[in-house]
Structure 1
């Protein structure tokens, strides 16, 4: 009887338990799956789309990330938590916009991943045809901790959605803390949209115009 029990442990319980532990460790520290919630990253990410979330990647300009918005957006609605946005500015960067062009540290940003309407009206919205971190952060829309900055502070990021005409992003509430980032979004291999893969997975490689 005892031998049968030991055999049962070796054949079933131990492998299943080991597999479960591995899954938990991978999902906690390495990768997990996530669903996009909302239209703020269209046309590159669709509402309810299943993506991979990497928890071991470094964060660069052009990367798309998921972050816990509860401590970032003072206007967050009940039930919301995670936002999906694109990193535009990293610590030390200046960010400005003028007449459909976006600039980081005075260099023209490549915005081929969105259409002209989002580059112009979508980006201007309530902020006019010319704005910068300095002008955005001088308003009382931003959290007090983020106000009156000309550059992105250390440990913080400035983010925007691709569907800027509907995106509630850094223009409205300020910078996001690196500690609140859950991970970097990767469009998985099973997605057949190669344009979306390029615009999400590889935009950091050609963030600026040549």
Structure 2
């Protein structure tokens, strides 16, 4: 009889111990989850229409605040405040990283603008295919504060910078090229015709890129 009672107590103690162990592990994972979330992740509200149709006013996006690389095409939060000013965060898309060369070319009828890029390690200016923008850039938009628009044949899709036959074209380009400085990014909104971005603020250093957007909620 006593042996049966002892076995019952042993089983009960084992179950209690297993329950306590599971509870402890659950608590540890929960605490780690909170630490990871509040240290690395955050929710950021979208204000305004400058990133339509990718994200809309009053939506939220989940962002990664630490330990991320910035690449072309990434959507990021950027502090556009100058030194001594209060932080001013905006959400934009990175279109150029260090060493990239960018040119805004206006169509011959002066109605539309296309963006061409020569990657830092490349030898061609390529018209960038951007299916995510809300509509084609318009030359009449007032957002080109820091940009010179180069007239061009909009059927031109690429320019080989090493081709001697392109000498004249490249000489024209020289006054219009935006070269992204070391440790900097050039960023644009997806709703190009109303977005205040690098065409207004200029490029920004990587330490001004505060987070990387993971998803829109």
TM-score (norm 1): 0.62
Q: Distance in 1 between matches of 2:54 and 2:194?
A: 14
Unaligned runs of 5+ in 1: 1-9, 137-148, 192-210
Q: Distance in 2 between matches of 1:165 and 1:159?
A: 14
1:57 paired to 2:68: yes
Within 5 Å, give how 1:1-210 maps onto structure 2.
19-20=30-31, 22-29=33-40, 31-54=41-64, 55-71=66-82, 81-99=88-106, 100-105=113-118, 106-118=125-137, 121-122=140-141, 125=144, 127=147, 129-130=149-150, 150-188=178-216
Higher-strand-fraction structure: 2
Deviations along 1:170-208, whole A, 9 cap, x unmatched? 1112111111112111224xx5xxxxxxxxxxxxxxxxx
Aligned partner of residue 27 in structure 1, secondary structure:
helix
Q: Distance in 2 between matches of 1:133 and 1:24?
A: 50
Aligned partner of residue 81 in structure 2, secondary structure:
helix
Higher-helix-fraction structure: 1
Contact 1:111 1:119 (C-alpha < 8 Å) held by counterparts: no
Cα deviation, residue 123, structure 1 = 8.5
Contact 1:40 1:162 (C-alpha < 8 Å) held by counterparts: yes
In terms of Rg, which structure is larger? 2
Unaligned runs of 5+ in 2: 1-20, 107-112, 119-124, 152-171
TM-score (norm 2): 0.61
Cα deviation, residue 57, structure 1 = 3.1
Q: Distance in 1 between matches of 2:213 and 2:91?
A: 8
